Amino acid sequence: MDSIYWAAFFSFIAGAFGYFITRFWVIPIGRYRVNKRRLEKALLQYRSELPAQDNTRLKTGWGKALCETIRRHSMALADLYNGEIPYWYRLVLLSRQEDPLKACDPAMRLDKSADAGQARRTIDVLRTLLRLKTRPE
């Protein structure tokens, strides 16, 4: 009967280890990737709605909802990076030269862009800092 107790003990340990890995590694990394994809989608949508000519002045309040979405997702990335992301995954991001903390500042200034060219340059800076995969049109 002692082997049943050992089997129960080891299955408990395996379950606890699986919970720990899932809760503190898999879930935060998944949240980071989802927020990054959402930010990428919002950036592409904002860029596609910009006027064609770079020197066109943007109207006051234009794209305010998209800028708010971009700001929210960049802040979520920075919060996940500061809090929940495991240390080893930060090293992975560092090796990829991906820095969500530096990307937060341009995202905050995006709605203050004077013209379409400046907004495009800001989006390009964000894309570089976050190492986004898809290329702008």
The reported pTM is 0.82
Give CA separation, 18 vs 12, 14, 26, 78, 84, in Å: 10, 6, 10, 27, 17
Q: For residue 55, is it within any domain?
A: yes
Residue-number span of the structural domain to which 17 is assigned: 2-130
Is the residue at 31 inside a domain? yes
- One pLDDT digit (tens) per residue for the chain, 137 residues: 588 999 999 999 999 999 989 888 899 999 999 999 999 999 999 988 888 888 888 877 778 888 899 999 999 999 999 888 898 899 999 998 888 888 888 888 888 877 888 888 899 989 888 888 655 55
| Integer CA distances (angstroms), 137 to 43, 49, 124, 127, in order | 12, 12, 12, 13
- Number of folded domains in the chain? 1
Residue pair 70/39 in contact by the 8 Å Cβ criterion = yes
What is the DSSP-derived secondary structure letter of residue 61?
T
